[in-house]
């Protein structure tokens, strides 16, 4: 509780608290929040990567397969896919090549734009994505559920959604 909030109910004592709530956060606080979010992600990603659930996929390859499930007919253009993952366009192209060679994705002409291609999951790609996805969901639930309450999970969703909306 702030000093102003501990003085009781007089108006002058509560004004600084109200001002704090409406003022923009400072550089230090925003950077501490960013670092905290980033370090939490790094910690969790290390935990996830140590799990024996990936079936000869890297986590990034799984990310591509998972992202494709969100597209119409389990596919999307590489440029759209690139919006949902953290890879450079050249790295994504090489990954799509590798996944295609393994029979997990295929490139098809985009029916709405003859100059573009769609990347879609093959039946084998859907199958491995589902299998790994079930295991990954259980791993996420274990690590997140052991660390945060249901209320905190809802708050985290709300905070992350707010950040995404402000920057998309």
Residue 115 lies in a domain: yes
The answer for residues whose C-beta is within 8 angstroms of residue 20's C-beta and 6 or more apart is 2
pLDDT tens per residue across span 115-140: 889 999 999 999 999 999 999 999 99
Q: What is the pLDDT of residue 86?
A: 86
Residue 21 lies in a domain: no
Distances (CA, A) of 105 to 8, 53, 88, 99, 165: 64, 20, 19, 6, 30
Give 21's pLDDT tier (boundaries 50, 70, 90): low
Cα–Cα distance, 125 to 143 (Å, whole number): 26
Residue 29 lies in a domain: no
Q: Tell me the CATH number at 66.
A: 1.10.10.10
Residue 90 lies in a domain: yes
16 versus 168: which is more confidently predicted?
Answer: 168
Residue 48 lies in a domain: no
pLDDT tens per residue across span 56-114: 999 999 999 999 999 988 889 998 999 889 889 999 999 999 999 999 999 998 888 77
Q: What is the pLDDT of residue 17?
A: 46
Residue 100 lies in a domain: yes
Mind giving me the DSSP string for the chain?
A: --TGGGG-S-HHHHHHHHHHHHSPPPHHHHHHHHHHHHHHHHHHHHHHHHSS--TT--HHHHHHHHHHHTSGGGEE-HHHHHHHSS--HHHHHHHHHHHHHTTSEEEEEETTEEEEEEEEE-HHHHHHHHHHHHHHHHHHHHHHHHHS-HHHHHHHHHHHHHHHHHT-
Averaged pLDDT, 48-55: 91
What's the number of domains the chain is made of?
1
Q: What is the pLDDT of residue 1?
A: 33
Cα–Cα distance, 79 to 27 (Å, whole number): 33
Residue 33 lies in a domain: no
Q: What is the pLDDT of residue 143?
A: 95
Residue 43 lies in a domain: no
Q: What is the pLDDT of residue 9?
A: 41
Averaged pLDDT, 17-24: 56
Q: Report the length, in residues, of the chain.
A: 168
Residue 106 burial (CB count, 10 A) = 16
Q: Find the domain containing 145 and state its range.
A: 53-166
């Amino acid at each position: 509780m702030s000093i102003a909030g501990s003085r009781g109910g007089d108006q002058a004592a509560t004004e600084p608290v109200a001002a704090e709530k409406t003022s923009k956060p400072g550089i230090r606080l925003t950077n501490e929040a960013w670092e905290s979010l980033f370090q939490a992600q790094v910690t969790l990603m290390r935990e996830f990567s140590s799990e024996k659930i990936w079936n000869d996929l890297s986590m990034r390859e799984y990310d591509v397969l998972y992202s494709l499930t969100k597209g119409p007919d389990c596919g999307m253009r590489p440029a759209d896919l690139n919006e949902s993952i953290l890879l450079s366009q050249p790295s994504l192209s090489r990954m799509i090549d590798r996944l295609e060679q393994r029979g997990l994705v295929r490139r098809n002409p985009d029916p709405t734009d003859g100059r573009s291609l769609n990347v879609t999951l093959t039946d084998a790609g859907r199958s491995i994505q589902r299998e790994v996805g079930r295991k990954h969901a259980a791993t996420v639930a274990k690590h997140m559920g052991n660390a945060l309450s249901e209320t905190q999970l809802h708050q985290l969703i709300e905070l992350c959604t707010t950040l995404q909306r402000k920057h998309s």
